[in-house]
Amino acid sequence: MRSPDSVSDSRRTDCLRITAIVATLGAATLTSACFGGSGTPGTDSTPAVMAKVGPDAVVTQREVEDSATLVVGGGPVLDLERPCARTDADVSRAVDDELLSLWAVAEGLAPASNSRAERIAAARAQLDSTLPSTLSEDDAAAWLSARESQFARVQTAEVTWAKFNSPRSAWSALGKSAGPVDPATVPALSPQSGTARLAHDGSGADGNVARVAFALRRAGSVGYTFDGTNAWLVGITSIENEPPSSETGRAQQLRRLATEGAREDAIAAFAWSLRDRWPVEILKHCTPESAILGR
């Protein structure tokens, strides 16, 4: 999907410095605003073009899937306040990879003849070599503190839920529009509905109800998931988190997660800066309808 261009063999030595280690949430989380444009539709053999990067490079649906976050144990969970957040993040990640691959070639880190994956690996290796292998305790604590709701463990949660026979039924019940929904109104959307009190292990309701609640972890939020058979809307009316664990194993895990997260944030921030050099145009955007109906 890329048109050949003339090869320029430039080798420069980079001076890559890190002046601070942990990342702003703003730098790590790209906006989920929908971009306009219709993109290039794909065919059975040609994946859809999702974005243009610089004058010649493109990112297709295949590259997005290769960079996407793996979902385990069931369907992805959507936050109705930002139903396209996951999709947009997957596209951004693929765009970042493309930018890194272009940078690797431009800086002489990998030849143009290498595969995209090899060019990305070369770029990441260069960046990784300048990042600390472990965050300090203070930096890790700061990074985690800025993302407390993502890493806190749920103690209890009061939820409302509604079950539907299909994603389309859920979409219709939402009035064919997504956006902020009051958790208290969720049970009214389906005859199969109710309220529940979830325990720390997710017991107290169907596993899918717990799945949505534990993914969102935010009072006042409403989420959606499709388990392959039924669609679920789940609202969180209140939530209580466990106090921070003092277990050594958990502390070590969190520090590793913070280190990995901060490293990825730093790489993402660097990739974002490359957009000045290689402008990015998102051609195909997610909509709330496409997110819920799975198109």
Partner 1 sequence: MSGVVVALALAMPSGAVAAPGGNGSGQLKVSVDTGTQLRASFETSATTAAIEAHKAGPTRDVVAVTVGATTFTADRDLATGKASWGADGAGVTARDRVVMSQLLSATDTWRQGGVDRSTGATKQAGGLKDLTTRLLMLAAEAPEGVAIGTQVVDRPSERRLEKTLADVQVVADASATKADSCAADVVATTTADSAERVAALAACQQANEDGILYFGSCATTTRWLMHDAGSHCMVGESINAGPRSSECMGECGPGCAGLNIYTYDCGDHDRCGRVHGGSTNPWDSECGDEYFEADDDFIWGWPNCT
Nearer to partner 1, 60 or 175 (CB): 60
Q: Does 10 bind partner 1 (CB under 8 A)?
A: yes
Strand arrangement, sheet containing 193-198: 78-79, 222-226, 231-241, 154-164, 193-198
Q: Does 6 bind partner 1 (CB under 8 A)?
A: yes
Six token digits for residue 231: 């669609």
In Å, what is the CA distance from 177 to each residue of 183, 225, 288, 290? Answer: 16, 16, 7, 11
Q: Which of residues 135-164 bind partner 1 (CB under 8 A)?
A: 139, 142-143, 145-147, 150-151, 153
Taking CB under 8 A as the criterion, the residue among 50, 80, 120, 280 binding partner 1 is: 120
To partner 1, the closest distance from the beta carbon of 289 in angstroms equals: 19
Taking CB under 8 A as the criterion, the residue among 30, 48, 219, 257 binding partner 1 is: 257
The C-alpha atoms of residue 183 and residue 233 are separated, in whole angstroms, by 9
Q: Does 262 bind partner 1 (CB under 8 A)?
A: yes
Nearer to partner 1, 34 or 112 (CB): 112
The C-alpha atoms of residue 21 and residue 206 are separated, in whole angstroms, by 41
To partner 1, the closest distance from the beta carbon of 166 in angstroms equals: 15
Taking CB under 8 A as the criterion, the residue among 31, 33, 46, 115 binding partner 1 is: 115
Tell me how many residues contact partner 1 (CB under 8 A). 113
The C-alpha atoms of residue 49 and residue 165 are separated, in whole angstroms, by 32
Six token digits for residue 263: 């490293």
To partner 1, the closest distance from the beta carbon of 176 in angstroms equals: 24
To partner 1, the closest distance from the beta carbon of 257 in angstroms equals: 4
Query: Which stretch, 35-43, 181-189, 261-269, 285-293, contacts partner 1 (CB under 8 A)?
Result: 261-269
Using DSSP, state whether 202 is helix, strand or coil.
coil
To partner 1, the closest distance from the beta carbon of 156 in angstroms equals: 9
DSSP state of 55: T
DSSP state of 45: S
Q: Which of residues 43-72 bind partner 1 (CB under 8 A)?
A: 54-57, 62-63, 66-72
Taking CB under 8 A as the criterion, the residue among 99, 160, 265, 283 binding partner 1 is: 265
Q: Does 221 bind partner 1 (CB under 8 A)?
A: no
Nearest to 263, CA basis, from 20, 70, 21: 21
The C-alpha atoms of residue 292 and residue 78 are separated, in whole angstroms, by 8
Q: Which of residues 164-183 bind partner 1 (CB under 8 A)?
A: none
Taking CB under 8 A as the criterion, the residue among 39, 42, 76, 220 binding partner 1 is: 76
Q: How many CB atoms lie within 10 A of CB 249?
A: 8
Length of the chain: 295
Q: Is the dihedral of CA 98, 49, 178, 174 positive or negative?
A: negative
Classify the phi-psi angles of 192: left when phi > 0, otherwise alpha if psi is within -120 to 50, otherwise beta.
Answer: beta
Q: How many CB atoms lie within 10 A of CB 180?
A: 9
To partner 1, the closest distance from the beta carbon of 165 in angstroms equals: 15
Q: Does 22 bind partner 1 (CB under 8 A)?
A: yes
Nearer to partner 1, 125 or 176 (CB): 125
